[in-house]
């Protein structure tokens, strides 16, 4: 009863999705049938969605090469009643939306087979549509004669990942009102080459095995936006870095017919509120060293909510309490604390950029700019509190005391600029977060401009 109650409470937190568009297969050697996420029913209406899916997730891992593959969308409801952002009260429930998606994808497969029985077909599912693809893969495993036999699959943010997917963690459980059912893990013995890609801490694809671990549970909830960041922001990776991380053998596992790729999440979601607090209040000089200090230790505590020793392809439902080796935990915490101290020191010791003295012409221009701002009532340029106070007096007495403005000499302005406090709390301070034992390893890669959907 306790396990079922916990399951129902936790499952109701999650909601993620997929979506596609139905198009007749073309005459290319390979055809890809692509579906989108929840509230994305037609990929062909999503701007650059299809090209990005093709270049970032299909071409690197399937036969759907750029320039030699028809990429078509498959339309389905992609709804989740009653949530406003996913269709509202007029929407289908999650289970019914998935069921309609299965019918749409199976119809597309039959059409492809009828057009060319020898043609290879690649299926792509994201979030809710990954659940659709899971059901279709189960169907294909029975070798239906009216569907293609040469099939490859790619899934991102898969809620049915056997060890980590939300719908696999709570397999067999249903929230009746929502019609949101734990539909179990994606099969791994169907003989269909499959690539399953997930970001670490994605609430749908990398949900904690032990949700009573509040560090792990809160980390997943706070990081819910990770689930929607595979194509938009790449979870902080550039496109080149993301490709390198996906191809890093340290981030890959093979189980049955499936290659599981788990991409490390660089910044622990649990500390993001503290980071944002510093940014919002201009206090990064305080918050960034604190984040650097506590993040490695928090990672160890978060990872206690996972079972990284079990393969991602082996079904692993939720549990209440993990088995903890006290010696190993003590060692991990000590190492994390030491890493945090080093990271915090590196953050604090990062010196501010030295300020060059202004040239005479620059000093005169700066003084003139200050005068203009005073006359306009704008004193934002003056960072020194003393100058702000004097400027306020100048504005109040400007009509009667014109000489007050002359007190601001170029030398005083230069001195104020040279002594103004600077914020040294950037995140790129050379500190290194060591991932907890068993967690994914971040790959190094050449940098490139971040590229997302417009």
Q: Domains in the chain, start-ordered, CATH in brackets?
A: 2-271 (3.40.50.1820), 360-419 (no CATH)
Q: Which residues contact 368 (CB under 8 A, 6 or more apart)?
A: none
Return the pLDDT at 24. 40
99 is catalytic: no
Closest CA to 14 of 158, 114, 138, 119: 158
Cα–Cα distance list, 294 to 288, 347, 368, 429, 441 (Å): 10, 13, 46, 15, 20
Over residues 42-91, the pLDDT tens digits come to 999 999 999 999 999 999 999 999 888 999 999 999 999 998 887 888 88
Q: How confident is the model at residue 264 (pLDDT cuts 50, 70, 90)?
A: very high
Please, are residues 326 and 424 in contact by the beta-carbon 8 Å criterion?
Answer: no
CA 199 – CA 205 distance, rounded (Å): 8
- Does residue 392 surpass a pLDDT of 90? no
Per-residue pLDDT band at 164 (split at 50, 70, 90): very high
Nearest to 207 by CA among 16, 3, 35: 16
Both tokens assigned to 251: 């981030």
Is the pTM higher than 0.85? The answer reads no
**pLDDT tens digits, one per residue of 182-212:** 999 999 999 999 999 999 999 999 999 999 9
Options 97, 104, 127, 129, the catalytic residue:
127
Nearest to 242 by CA among 199, 184, 195: 199
How far apart (Å, rounded) are the C-alpha atoms in residues 10 and 15?
A: 11
Instruction: Give per-residue pLDDT as tens, 302-336.
Output: 999 999 999 999 999 999 999 999 999 999 999 99
Banded pLDDT at 442 (limits 50, 70, 90): low
Asked if residue 124 has pLDDT above 90, the reply is yes
Alpha-carbon gap, residue 368 to 106, rounded angstroms: 72
What tokens were used for 175? 């929230």
Give pLDDT, residue 20: 37
Burial class (CB in 10 A: 0-12, 13-18, 19+), 54: buried
């Amino acid at each position: 009863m306790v396990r079922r109650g916990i399951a129902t409470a936790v499952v109701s937190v999650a909601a993620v999705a997929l979506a596609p568009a139905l198009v007749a297969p073309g005459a290319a050697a390979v055809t890809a049938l692509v579906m989108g996420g929840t509230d994305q029913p037609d990929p062909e209406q999503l701007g650059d969605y299809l090209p990005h899916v093709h270049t970032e997730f299909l071409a690197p891992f399937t036969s759907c090469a750029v320039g030699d593959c028809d990429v078509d969308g498959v339309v389905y409801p992609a709804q989740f009643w009653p949530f406003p952002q996913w269709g509202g009260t007029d929407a289908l429930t999650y289970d019914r939306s998935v069921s309609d998606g299965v019918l749409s994808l199976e119809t597309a497969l039959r059409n492809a087979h009828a057009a060319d029985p020898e043609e290879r077909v690649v299926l792509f599912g994201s979030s809710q549509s990954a659940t659709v693809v899971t059901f279709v893969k189960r169907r294909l495993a029975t070798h239906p004669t009216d569907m293609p036999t040469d099939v490859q699959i790619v899934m991102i943010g898969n809620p049915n990942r056997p060890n980590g997917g939300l719908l696999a963690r709570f397999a067999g459980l249903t929230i009746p009102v929502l019609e949101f059912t734990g539909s179990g893990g994606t099969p791994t013995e169907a003989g269909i080459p499959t690539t399953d890609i997930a970001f670490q801490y994605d609430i749908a694809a990398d949900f904690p095995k032990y949700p009573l671990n509040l560090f792990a549970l809160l980390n997943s909830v706070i990081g819910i936006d990770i689930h929607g960041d595979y194509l938009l922001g790449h979870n902080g990776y550039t496109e080149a870095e993301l490709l390198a991380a996906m191809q890093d053998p340290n981030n890959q596992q093979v189980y049955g017919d499936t290659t599981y790729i788990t991409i490390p999440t660089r910044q622990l979601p649990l500390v993001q509120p503290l980071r944002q607090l510093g940014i919002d209040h201009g206090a990064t000089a305080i918050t960034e060293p604190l984040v650097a200090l506590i993040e490695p230790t928090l990672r160890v505590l978060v990872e206690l909510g996972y079972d990284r020793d079990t393969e991602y392809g082996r079904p692993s439902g939720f549990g209440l309490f993990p088995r903890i080796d006290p010696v190993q935990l003590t060692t991990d915490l000590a190492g994390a604390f030491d890493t945090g101290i080093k990271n915090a020191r590196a953050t604090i010791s990062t010196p501010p950029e030295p300020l060059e003295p202004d040239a005479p012409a620059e000093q005169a221009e700066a003084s003139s700019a200050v005068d203009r701002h005073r006359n306009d009532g704008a004193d934002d340029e003056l960072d020194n509190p003393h100058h702000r106070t004097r400027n306020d007096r100048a504005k109040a007495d400007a009509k009667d005391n014109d000489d007050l403005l002359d007190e601001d000499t170029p030398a005083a302005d230069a001195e104020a600029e040279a002594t103004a406090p600077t914020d040294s709390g950037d995140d790129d301070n050379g500190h290194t977060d060591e991932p907890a034992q068993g967690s994914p390893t971040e790959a190094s890669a050449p940098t490139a401009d971040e590229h997302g959907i417009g």
